[in-house]
Structure 1
Amino acid sequence: MKVYFNNSCKICKAEIDLYKKEKIDEINWVDITNNDQAKIETKKDSKELLRRLHVEKNGQIFSGAKAFLLVWKNIPKYKFLYSIFSLPIIFQIFSIGYEIIAFFLYLKNKKQIKIN
């Protein structure tokens, strides 16, 4: 599984660093900052990559809240988050909340990378 994240965003980096500490061999962490290979692999442009977290699993790309569920599901310490946030009603609220926060983080960080 590959997790595409924005290492140039301090908030994003801090959260991903927590997950990386768990040293899950099955997760490959990919910084999207000015990363042309990430654009090719995900078939997304810089703006789309910067806007949300993305996960590639079994050849399929997942974005936003669904991507977070996959990350949590694959890290034993955080699997409880998957159990809670994957419940249908909670997932809907989580998705909306994620999109709002991701939008403001995008606005804050979009100047840090070249947008193509």
Structure 2
Amino acid sequence: MTDETRVLYNETCPVCRFEIGHYRKAALAEDLPLLFDDLTQASAWGVSPEAAAKRLHVMHQGQLLSGIPAFQILWAQLPRWRWVARLTALPLIHPLACAFYDHLMAPILYRAHKRRESAKHLPQ
């Protein structure tokens, strides 16, 4: 089993790219075993590109996680973000964080992704 944590995210999403860029910078500064893959790597993860575009995925200790549990693993690896991992694990906060991500943030970001993809295929 490896200590590395891999993150699968949507590089074409400006919000995702900004957020992951922040995590990547922190990981590099701390020399942490975090690796970041964009959607083009989804099939190697056993995830369809469509599913990968819908939510963040993390591979940690051989386990594939998505959504808030994936974020929690990622945040737990980053010294300045560990408190967020602990906070979102609290019994009252965890279901609220999951609902917020699953029913609001992830769908909004996914719809924006689909609009960007559609715009790419429009004649100029």
Alignment coverage as a number of residue pairs: 110
Partner of 1:105: 109
Helix, strand or coil: the match of 2:33? coil
1:45 maps onto 2:52 in alignment? no
Higher helix fraction (1 or 2): 2
CA distance in structure 2 between the partners assigned to 1:18 and 1:51 by the alignment: 20
Q: Is the 8 A contact 1:50 1:110 kept in 2?
A: no
Look at both structures and tell me which one has the larger radius of gyration over its CA atoms.
2
Report 1:18-97 matches (<5 A): 18-22=22-26, 23=28, 24-32=31-39, 35=40, 37-41=41-45, 43-97=46-100
Paired with 1:93 and 1:83, the residues of 2 have a C-alpha distance of: 14
The answer for unaligned runs of 5 or more in structure 1 is: none
2:23 and 2:83 map into 1 onto residues whose CA distance is: 14
What does the per-residue CA deviation read over 1:79-115, in whole Å, with 9 as the maximum and x for residues that have no partner? 111111111210100000011110111011024459x
Aligned to 1:4: 8
Gap change, CA 1:112 and 1:40, over 3 Å in 2:
farther
Alpha-carbon distance, 1:39 to partner = 1.4
* TM-score (norm. length: structure 2): 0.82
Distance 1:4 1:113, change over 3 A: farther
Cα distance in 2, alignment partners of residues 113 and 86 from structure 1: 34
CA deviation vs aligned residue, 1:55-93 (integer Å, no higher than 9, x gap):
001111000010000000000011111111111210100
Structure 2 distance, partners of 1:38, 1:9, is 15
- Is the deviation greater in 19-28 or in 6-15? 19-28
Q: Distance in 1 between matches of 2:32 and 2:76?
A: 14
Q: TM-score normalised to the size of structure 1?
A: 0.88
Q: Return the offset for 1:40.
A: 2.6
Deviation at 1:25, TM superposition (A): 2.9
Compute the RMSD of aligned alpha carbons. Answer: 1.5
